Structure formats: structure tokens, C-alpha cells
Amino acid sequence: MASTLNETADRTIARPSGLSEEVYRRVRADIMSLKIPPDTRVSVDSLARELGVSQTPIREALSMLEANGLVSKRHFAGYATSPRMDRAQLDELFEFRLLIEPHAARKAAEAMADADKRALSSGETAPSHEAFADMDTEFHRLIAQGAGNHLIADSLARLHIHVHIFRACFRSEITEEAVHEHDAIIAAIHARDGGKAEAAMRRHIERSYGRLRDFIKD
Amino acid sequence: MASTLNETADRTIARPSGLSEEVYRRVRADIMSLKIPPDTRVSVDSLARELGVSQTPIREALSMLEANGLVSKRHFAGYATSPRMDRAQLDELFEFRLLIEPHAARKAAEAMADADKRALSSGETAPSHEAFADMDTEFHRLIAQGAGNHLIADSLARLHIHVHIFRACFRSEITEEAVHEHDAIIAAIHARDGGKAEAAMRRHIERSYGRLRDFIKD
DNA sequence: AAATCAAATATCCTATAGGATTTAAGAAAC
DNA sequence: GTTTCTTAAATCCTATAGGATATTTGATTT
């Protein structure tokens, strides 16, 4: 019985999604945690030595990261993490979020599966201060997923990575207000009130923008 | 004289933006032109032999294409172009476009630079039937760029590639109506009427959706 | 005749070595 | 003290060989 279980587990594990994917996840995590700060050179050789793999998967991972805007490459000059967002980029990012996420919240309120609705509430119950970023990311991911549109979900996932990095740069820990705003959105979704969910999400993003904008002078 | 020619040639070649980038453009063009049809295996070795380069730049290019959703990779099974969009994906794509492009048209009408406005009209003057796809892509690209938000422009560029492929699959050549709809948008932008531009763009996308939807049964 | 199993092929994935190029540091000259 | 040139380091790009896996083909059995 246990053997059967292990075999099934082995089968799933026997399908490692490839070293490139593994490296991709690892480097992306290092960038998001600021272990590799913005605007920092990233050497293929160093990474290969550090992770104990050859250069090929490193290159593939960095190419994917480049396509996602987390690093940039210069010919014969190597890779470097993207510089921290400036004011203009922050404005553009939140303009984009205001286009997408309120609509996603409306659709989620109207069509979200019950299982996801439960996950939405449960995740919110443990807002440990240091894991606020992960909680926030998961919250917005669930709503985007609840909208039932993969393009919306993928776009927002990409954007939230940059929000995450930006927030990490400033050790922003203003969780109090954000949690209340989240609660309002959750309540509207549970009530299946699309209009209210959309408005609550719009307000949340606008206020979130106001909180982050204060960190930038230029 | 041959030496002079060679030297000039050497100079231009001596400044390649990278083989990976070159391969990326080439393969993307082949996918968009259906020279590589949807749901088709793409061999790293074959590409390397065909293009006369080693495997490394091929892999980097395919990794970038994968991050952009044009090909998918299965571990130890190679790359393959994404299958043609089905009905659900078409619905999601146009839902997304309706979120973004009307807003982009409004902003473009309010803030577009005069040079881009001229380019908008000039491009529309030569609607050769076989190049309609390129013209349409350029039209929407200019408006997205006119909105002054790189995220909007990049997102739409990604989406339009898939629209392009879908249209190519069905040899869709209904340019008549589309050109008229474009004209309405252009007129609104030239008049700097944001509301009208937004409405015209929304109508254009909705009707464009109706035209493409007819090609799908499932 | 259809289904199942085994071997062979084709492909991917990895590792290592070597050549080519850019960038950066350090010394010399003005 | 500043500029320029030379040298060195770091990096990318390529090529080749070997191991691992999926797919295909063919033979055997039911």
C-alpha cells in the first residue's frame, strides 16, 4: 500500500520539469527576495558553479527571465537584473492594474468557484507581517484565476512580481489598511456582488498606489 | 574593390545584436507566416543545421518563444508550436483586448504625438490585401504606443501575434469593413476626441471578434 | 486481425574545452 | 591631474561527446 503510494509519487517526481525550469524558479526567487538586487550583473559562469549545473540550463533560464522583463542582456556583456522601477514605470504599472483587476474582481464575484472562494478567505486569516507580500500575491492571483481568463491571470502574475520587488526594496510593511481593503473585496465576492467587488478592488489598487508612490521622489 | 566590399560586410556583421535574437526573430516570423504550422514539432538539431548555427542560440531563442507562448516544451520530448486557438482562447483574448485597447485609443486621442498621428494615417493609405495583417498589426501597435504605456504596448503586441496566426490559418481577408472601422478611429484621434476614439475602438474589436468567431465551430 | 511488448532510432539534455569579443583596470605620456 | 594605450579578466559563442528519455517500428501472442 505504501509502496503503491510511493510508486505513484515516484512517477510524478520522475517527471522533473527540467533543470532549466528549476534554475528559472531559483533565480526568480533570488531576484524577488533581493538576494540579487536590482541593476546587478548576473554571471552565467558564477551561477553554473553555484548551482552545480552546466551553462546550458542557466542560459535557458536567463532567456526566459529576459522575456519576462526581470533581467536584460547586452551582447558580449552578460546579463543584469532590471533596475528598480522609477516613478514613470510605477505609474504605468498601476494604470495597467486599474484596467485589469477591477474587471477581474467583478467576474470573480459573478463566477468564482466555491473552492476558490474558501481559499480566498482562509489565506487571509493568517497575515503574518513578514509574509504579507506572499499573501498579497496569492490574494490577487486567486481573484485573477477566478475571473476565468488565463491571459488576465498571467499578465497580473508578471506585474505582481515587479510590485513585489518594488515593495521589498523599501521594506514596506503597511499591512493594516491593505488587509481591510482585502476584506471588503472578499465580502463583495462572497455576496456575489460584482459591482461592489469591482469598486472595492479599484479603491484598493488606488490606495495601494498612493502608499507605494510615497517612496519615490524623482 | 572586393576587399572594400568585404570590409563593409564584415563591419555590419561584426555588430550582430546576438545570434539568439536573430534566431528568435527568424523562428517567430516562420511561425507567424505558418511556415511552421501550429501544433508542430520543432527540432533543435534541425533548426541548428538549417540556420547554420550551434544549438545554444537555438535553445535561447526557443526559451524566449516559450516565455511568449508561441511554443511549448515537454521534458525530453522537445519543443512544439502551440496549437491553434480554440473558441475559449479566442473569447479570452478578445475579452482582454476589450479591456485594454479602448482605453489605449482614448489616451492616444488625448496625448498622441503629431508624428505618430501622421504615421497612423499614412499607413492606412495603402491597404494591399495580402499585407492587411501587417497593416492591422501596425495600426494597433501605433495606437498602443500612442497611449504612452509600455506595458500596454507590449501586452498587445504579444496578443496580436496570436490574432495574426489565427487569421492566417483561415486566410481571412475581410479587409473592407475593418478599414472603415479603422478610419473612424483615426478620425476620432485626429479630432482629439477621446470618448469617440474609445467607442470606435470598442466597436472595431467587437466586430472583429464577430468576424473571426465565425471560423470556429467547437 | 488487434493488441501487447521489446528493441531501435531520433531527440533532447548535460558537460567540458577552446576561440572570439567586450569591458575594465593599470601604467605611461602629456 | 587628465588622457590614452596596453594588458588582463570576464563573458559570450561555438563545437563535440556521452547519457537519458520519448517515440516509433516490428514481432509475437491472443
Q: What is the pLDDT of residues B32-74, one digit of tens each?
A: 989 888 988 888 888 888 888 888 888 888 988 988 889 988 8
CA of residue A203 relative to chain centroid, distance: 20
Task: Look at B63 and A60 and tell me if their CB atoms are within 8 Å.
Answer: yes
Q: Is A144 helix (H, G, I), strand (E, B) or coil?
A: helix
Looking at residue B17, its pLDDT comes to 66
Which nucleotide is the nearest neighbour of B46, by CA and C1'? Answer: C11
Which of A52-61, A113-122, B204-213 is the most confident on average? B204-213
Q: Using the CB atom, is residue A55 less than 7 Å from strand D?
A: yes
For residue A139, which of A155, A157, A154 has the smallest C-alpha distance? A157
Residue A189 pLDDT class (50, 70, 90 cuts): very high
> Please, which pLDDT band fits residue A20 given cuts at 50, 70 and 90?
confident
According to the model, what pLDDT value does residue A11 have? 30
Which residues of B lie inside 8 Å of A (Cβ-Cβ)?
16-18, 20, 56, 59-61, 63-64, 66-68, 73, 75, 89, 92-93, 95-96, 99-100, 103, 149-152, 155, 159
B52, closest nucleotide (Cα–C1') = D14
The pLDDT tens digits for A198-213 are 999 999 999 999 999 9
Grid cell of A47 as nine digits: 551561477
Distance between terminal CA atoms of chain B?
62
Window B90-129, strand D contacts by Cβ < 7 Å = none
Give the per-residue pLDDT at A187.
94
Average of per-residue pLDDT values in chain A: 84
Q: Given this model, what pLDDT does residue B105 score? A: 97
Of the listed ranges A75-84, B65-74, B116-125, B159-168, the one predicted with least confidence: B116-125
**Chain A residues within an 8 Å CB radius of B152:** 92, 95-96
pLDDT(A17) > 70: no
Assess contact for A60 and A19: CB atoms under 8 A.
no
Quick one: which of B160, B158, B137 has its CA closest to B68? B158
Query: Which residues does A80 contact at the CB level (< 8 Å), separation at least 6?
Result: A39, A40, A41, A42, A71, A72, A74
Is the pLDDT score of A12 beyond 50?
no
pLDDT of residue A174: 63
Closest residue on chain B to A59 (Cα): B60
A 23-42 residues, CB < 7 A, strand D: 41
Quickly give B50 CA vs D26 C1' distance in Å: 32
Q: What are residue A74's DSSP bridge partners?
A: A78
Share of chain A above pLDDT 90, in %: 42
H-type alpha helices, A14-113? 19-32, 44-51, 55-67, 87-111
Kindly report, residue by residue over B152-168, the tens digit of the pLDDT: 999 999 999 999 999 99
- Asked if A149 lies within 8 A of B92 by C-beta distance, the reply is yes
pLDDT above 60 for A173: yes
A60-64, B16-20, B85-89: least confident range? B16-20
Domains defined along chain A, listed by start: 2-81 (1.10.10.10), 87-213 (1.20.120.530)
The per-residue pLDDT for B57 is 84
Which ranges of A112-192 does DSSP label H, i.e. alpha helix? 114-124, 132-146, 150-169, 175-190
The DSSP output letter for B129 is G
Percent of chain B with pLDDT over 90: 43
pLDDT of residue A130 exceeding 60: no
Chain A residues whose CB is inside 8 A of the B73 CB are 18
**Banded model confidence at residue A40, pLDDT cuts 50, 70, 90:** confident
Predicted confidence at residue A166, as pLDDT, reads: 93
**pLDDT score recorded for residue A13:** 32
Q: How far is the CA of B24 from the C1' of C7 (A)?
A: 38
Helices (H), B52-149: 55-67, 87-111, 114-124, 132-146
pLDDT on residue A196: 96
pLDDT tens column, B78-88: 888 999 999 99
Q: Which residue has the higher pLDDT, B95 or A176?
A: B95
Report residue B89's pLDDT band, with 50, 70 and 90 as the boundaries: very high
Q: Which residue of B has its CA nearest to A77?
A: B18
CA atoms within 13 A on the CB side of B129: 6
Averaging pLDDT over each range in A20-34, A41-55, A81-95, which range is the top one? A81-95
Interval A41-69 mean pLDDT = 86
Whether residue B124 has pLDDT greater than 70? no
Half-sphere exposure at residue B162, Cβ-oriented, CA atoms within 13 angstroms:
24
